[in-house]
């Protein structure tokens, strides 16, 4: 992994330390979010499975009742009985926030005043199996809406979980190690520069000391020559 291409200065070192602290805190928060998303997703997946099994079982009953009704009734009578539905449905879509994800919430209400008034035909020419099929279908419809909402929620949570997982991995395996490597590099450069400055100062000090000794020696020799003369 390559370090960041920055100037090895103390100001840059301070800036990178702050960025590293922010990235570390962000990594912890993202990990917590990832864990909560995973927990919520697994619970939702179990609820989805139970609802799907329930819906599939109820729809199987509906299909069996329709098949029996189709067998005991003529096609023309069956189509005429179902041609003009008596009950309508108005569907509304809301939303709720789950771990910063806006997931849909479906709600519906019947257009007729009596929600149990669902049979658009008389009972003289129809079979009881058709009644059972329509009644079962009206009962399973709310469960189907709930299942659709939960499956959409599961898909959105899965996408958010994948995005969060990528961000956690990017921070953990790329960004934070890169910052740490760059900080170590700047520290090494600063220490190296400091050692170089100390070495130069020591050399300058030695040169000044030697020069002072030479000057003192020359002054002493000059005084000695003057005293001899």
Q: Which of 119-123, 165-169, 210-214 has the highest mean pLDDT?
A: 165-169
Percent of residues, the chain, with pLDDT higher than 90:
31
Residue 89 lies in a domain: yes
The Cα–Cα gap between 74 and 179 comes to 77
**7 domain residue, yes or no:** no
Residue 167 in this model has a pLDDT that exceeds 90: yes
**Residue 203 lies inside a defined structural domain of this protein:** no
Q: Work out the average pLDDT over 144-163.
A: 90
Q: How many domains does the chain divide into?
A: 1
Asked if residue 171 belongs to a domain, the reply is no
Which residue segment(s) compose the domain that 116 sits in?
21-165
User: Is position 90 within any domain?
Assistant: yes
Structural domain includes residue 213: no
Residue 120 is assigned to a structural domain of this protein: yes
Which helix (H) or strand (E) element contains residue 98? Answer: strand 89-98
Strand partners, 96: 103
Neighbours of 113 (CB within 10 A): 6
User: Does residue 140 lie within any of the structural domains?
Assistant: yes
Half-sphere exposure in the Cβ direction for 15 (13 Å, CA)? 10
This prediction has a pTM of 0.71
Which CATH number is 137's domain given?
A: 1.10.287.3240
* 4-42 pLDDT per residue, tens: 888 888 899 999 999 999 999 999 999 999 999 999 899
pLDDT tens-digit series, residues 82-140? 777 777 777 888 888 877 788 888 887 777 666 667 777 676 677 778 878 888 888 88
Max Cα separation, the chain? 155
Query: For position 1, what pLDDT does the model report?
Result: 67
| Average pLDDT, rounded, for the chain | 84
pLDDT value, residue 116: 65
Cα separations (Å) of 201 from 9, 191, 229? 21, 15, 42
d(CA 24, CA 206): 47
Indicate whether 170 pLDDT > 90.
yes
């Amino acid at each position: 992994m390559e370090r960041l291409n920055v100037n090895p200065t103390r100001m840059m070192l301070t800036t990178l330390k702050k960025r590293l602290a922010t990235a570390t805190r962000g990594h912890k928060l993202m990990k917590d979010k990832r864990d909560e998303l995973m927990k919520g997703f697994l619970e939702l997946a179990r609820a989805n499975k139970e609802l799907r099994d329930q819906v599939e079982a109820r729809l199987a009953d509906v299909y069996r009742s329709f098949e029996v009704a189709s067998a005991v009734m003529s096609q023309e009578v069956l189509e005429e009985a179902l041609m003009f539905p008596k009950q309508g449905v108005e569907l509304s879509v809301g939303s709720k926030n789950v771990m910063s994800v806006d997931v849909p919430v479906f709600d519906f209400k019947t257009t007729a005043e009596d929600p149990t008034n669902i049979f658009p035909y008389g009972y003289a020419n129809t079979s009881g199996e058709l009644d059972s099929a329509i009644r079962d279908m009206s009962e399973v419809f709310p469960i189907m809406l709930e299942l659709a909402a939960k499956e959409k929620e599961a898909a959105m949570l899965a996408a958010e979980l994948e995005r969060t997982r990528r961000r956690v991995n990017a921070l953990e395996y790329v960004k934070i190690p890169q910052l740490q490597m760059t900080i170590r590099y700047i520290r090494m450069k600063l220490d190296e520069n400091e050692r170089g400055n100390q070495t130069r100062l020591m050399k300058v000090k030695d040169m000044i000391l030697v020069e002072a000794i030479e000057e003192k020696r020359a002054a002493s020799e000059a005084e000695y020559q003057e005293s001899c003369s």
